[in-house]
Amino acid sequence: MANDAASAGIMTLTADAEDSALDDYVAEEDTNDVEPPAFSGRPFRRRRHPVAFGVVAVVALSLLVGWLGWQNWQARHAQQARARYLQTARQAALNLTTIDWQHVDADVRRIMDNSTGEFQDEFAQRSAPFIEVVKQAKSSSVGTVTEAAMESQTAEAAKVIVAASVKTSDANGTEPVPRAWRMRISIQRIGDQFKISRVEFVP
């Protein structure tokens, strides 16, 4: 009987051991069958951030360079126009104050060619009587520009204050005495040309 009991105990321990081993095997199989966790994608997003930042930086830099280039072009263009306006006003003052009776027709024509609008119309109406008076008096005048300053400027027009000293002589042989003139000369831009549109004498 004792032997039978011992045999039964051994068989029970053996069965328990086999069950434990089987459980361990099944657990290992279950563990192997578990699917690996899916990638969340965060590492990829983190890798894309520097690229996106670089693109934004390049675009911003390009816009800045373009804006600075446009500002530079605009400033240079305005400066060139300013120089042309001032040059035109100075030359207009010389044309208006330097007239010789011996070639007054050419002097008047030069003024007409460099004018437009209201001033050209008025000067054209008065040019014939003016030429006649200059020839009869045999007068000659020579002007010298002493100062020119921009009063206002736009893309298409400008007003310039010009100061000039004018010496006038006639057939009587009178010693010419310099006279100071101050004029507000309005200039109109027509395409690539700059022309006088109005002349006003100012104190």
Instruction: Give the model confidence (pLDDT) of 20-39 as tens digits.
Output: 544 554 445 444 444 555 54
pLDDT above 70 coverage of the chain, percent: 73
Q: What structural domains and CATH numbers belong to the chain?
A: 2-57 (no CATH), 81-201 (3.10.450.230)
Confidence of residue 60 (pLDDT cuts 50, 70, 90): confident
Phi/psi for 162 (5° steps) reads -120, 130
Query: What pLDDT score was predicted for residue 4?
Result: 47
Q: Which residue has the higher pLDDT, 168 or 36?
A: 168
Q: Which residue has the higher pLDDT, 68 or 186?
A: 186
Query: What pLDDT score was predicted for residue 101?
Result: 96
Model confidence at 179: pLDDT above 80: yes
Model confidence at 5: pLDDT above 50: no
Model confidence at 180: pLDDT above 70: yes
Per-residue pLDDT reduced to its tens digit, 75-90: 777 789 999 999 999 9
Model confidence at 144: pLDDT above 70: yes
Model confidence at 41: pLDDT above 60: no
Q: Which residue has the higher pLDDT, 10 or 91?
A: 91
Rg of the chain, C-alpha, whole Å: 49
Confidence of residue 74 (pLDDT cuts 50, 70, 90): low
What is the average pLDDT value for the chain, to the nearest integer? 81
